[in-house]
Structure 1
Amino acid sequence: MAENFIPMTVAEMVEAVTEAPIPFRITAFDGSATGPEDAEYSLEVTSLEGLSYIATAPGDLGLARAYISGGLKAHGEHPGHPYELFDSLRDLYDCVRRPEAAEMVDLVRSLRHLGALRIQPIPDVEQTSWWRKRLVQGLTRHSKERDKESVSAHYDISNEFYELFLGDSMTYTCAYYPSPEATLEEAQENKYRLIFEKLRLKSGDTLLDVGCGWGGMVRYAARRGVKAIGVTLSQEQYEWGRDKIAAEGLQDLAEVRCMDYRDVAESGFDGISAIGILEHIGVDNYSLYFGSLHEKLKPGGRMLNHCITYPDNNPRKAGAFIDRYIFPDGELSGSGTVQKHMQDAGFEVLHAENLRFDYQRTLHQWCVNLKQNWEAAVQLAGEPTARLWGLYMAGSEWGFEHNVVQLHQVLGVKLLEDGSRGDLPERMWWSV
């Protein structure tokens, strides 16, 4: 006669794969609970679907699916800025252990008994147009068509949604804080000032801004007499930037285009700014990227590349969660890799600096803005999308603080035929 099988509770499942004490109080839809009762934060597995997401995609992706869909809720933190959870999540990962063979058998049987091993539908927010098109048509990675779908998947939510947390600057890249007390808008303006000065631009010069976003750098340069062209693959960004240029009366000097940087016909630019585009290029394409931009500069022209980097030079994706939900096809490497490819393309690298703490502050302020505008964000984009952005930005803030990722600006010059730098000074000419 077969023994009577008593399925494990959700709490017992957690205990089977962790070493006590865990940093959370965990409760579940079946009424079970585990973890310290006085824990600062608690996690609630609210549904069988949430448990299924966690069981069928262990790790970041499963936890994210459960959290975004509401199958996993965190108590003690606002979903617009769940920053403090990440210290506890790191501690939770440290508590994970491999169950003994008998425990594993009981765990799998219990999950199967509950129906938690049944694959759940992918959350709608993950089913981007890019992901469907990739599956259906099999687009080549980093082809022009797939890059456009990838960028659209992230940026074409709605301009109104981004305005809620980016603020008046509508700039979705690391700001540069003149002081820790500066506002986000002051810091973003200061970032454009820094890049403008590093590129040593002046009235009458020409600038190409690749990956221009909503056109902040283009308008900054145009207001100072520089003829500036910006390109983006996002239709929403293009339309917003075009209208903003018209509203400020900058049409004679500023232009944004919805096009791939590889299709820009003009050349002979005095400066090129690339602010937050390299993350989308793919390390295997760095040579073509820097080579094509080197060709578009006049001799003596300068390029500044501003991008997220790793603390090491081992190129890799940022993980399943980021690839599925945030930056499809995104890939990072270290600042050394960036500088190597710039040098190989013909640039003399003049200066590099790490602004990771500035990005930490930037992300913190974006999260504060999202938290303050939470109801409007949910109304505009839906709660899953709002929860997704809160989770992503808070996790990124934590990552920059703890040196998981960095932010580097690298400045290079296209030398003249005789190997000189033209009229560039020998020493740093910009204000910090």
Structure 2
Amino acid sequence: ARNGSGAAMAASASLWHSYLGVIVSRERQRLEHFQRAEDILLTLLEGVHARDPRFLVDYARNLEAFEFALCTSEDAVTVEVPLRIDGDALRVLACWPGDTPTGHRSGLGTCCLEVPSPGTDLEDWTSTVGVMEWGGGARCLVPGKVLQHLKELLVSAIVHCQRQFLLQPGDLSAENLKEDTMELSLLIRGGWKTVRFDIVPVVRRQQEPLRLKGRQSDRGFPEGSLQKATEEAHFVPASPHCWRSSTHLPILKLLQAVDTLKGPRLDSLRLLDQLRSQDWGEEGGKGALTFNQLKMVLLWSTELFPSSEDWQDLEGSVYRLLVILLRCLAIQRLPHFLHPEENLFQGKPWDLASLYHKVESFAQDPPRFLRFHFGLPARTDSWQADAGTRALLQLPDKDGSYWDTAYFDILLSQFQVYRIQDGARHSAMSQLLSKIQREIPQQS
């Protein structure tokens, strides 16, 4: 049990804020490095646009900068290059199953984009592709051709900038362009830090704002956030022949909306991301958890804990994310916030049990981990889990009834960070706990 004395609580709060303070102090410098690297990237993209005006330069990079500053590790920055195409005139068709890339079921947005008629300036990017609707071929925009053309223009822009002495030796590495992937990666030096940009062409079209099935729209978010974030569909390459719906920018827009709410919500994300890169990685320094997955956890916690009472202090806010992350690790399922049928843990060769143990160790004894160190991460092998808490975290949930505020309130009370005065929530938590104890007496 935690020591609830005033002095102990003050010391604990000071520890949390000291750790966060070091993280935040680095952000300004990280942003400066990003902006220097971004300036070089924009120069290259302007060169691409000059050679082929169908590739547009999007100067509104505030969302990418916002994400880069938040992320404490060296994750790649995704940069979407819009195509000068009337996306609303394209017809979205399902790909043949054989064209569907591994990890993207057709139901999760994998598609072909049919070009309406010949005579457009897209002929060199189109080809006849098999589509399911017609049982035959349709003239479609081919992502492989678009990517190849963009790659050639990027190389040409790089050579031009080198000849004009706009690039200094060591400013840029284009080695990753040789890889056969669905994004074009450049390593660009901004100051003494190198930033990896993953460049992807994107087709944008208007769509009906997303409705979350069985969920209250905007619960926990500023009003209208979901509509603003999802009013435009973004299609990026999924394979040489298929496109897929991308939620990269919609998720960032929702994250930015969360930043307008009171409480240390994004600070909680910053803190957990530091732990992710410092203590939760696998051997060899490779992380089993991604920043994108932590973003999903924050969005779910915003919806499941909609009250400002949940976000009064840093420790309590971090635990709002922790209980959701632990539950997802325990059942090996992290639902995508906008498409809950998609499991973000699926198809990845991670040792989720080992990661669960590391996160659980932190949740039970944060002071052991709230410090900066170099070399090996903090040891967790000598620590014993609380059997009751672990049993609750691992409860089977076939109908999804535990993906609810009442269930996560029970977990918060187990970690002694509940501190909620709302009588209705107390009642819902007590009722659910009684139900769990009746159905699984051995867990009580």
Alignment TM-score, normalising by the size of structure 2: 0.22
Alignment TM-score, normalising by the size of structure 1: 0.23
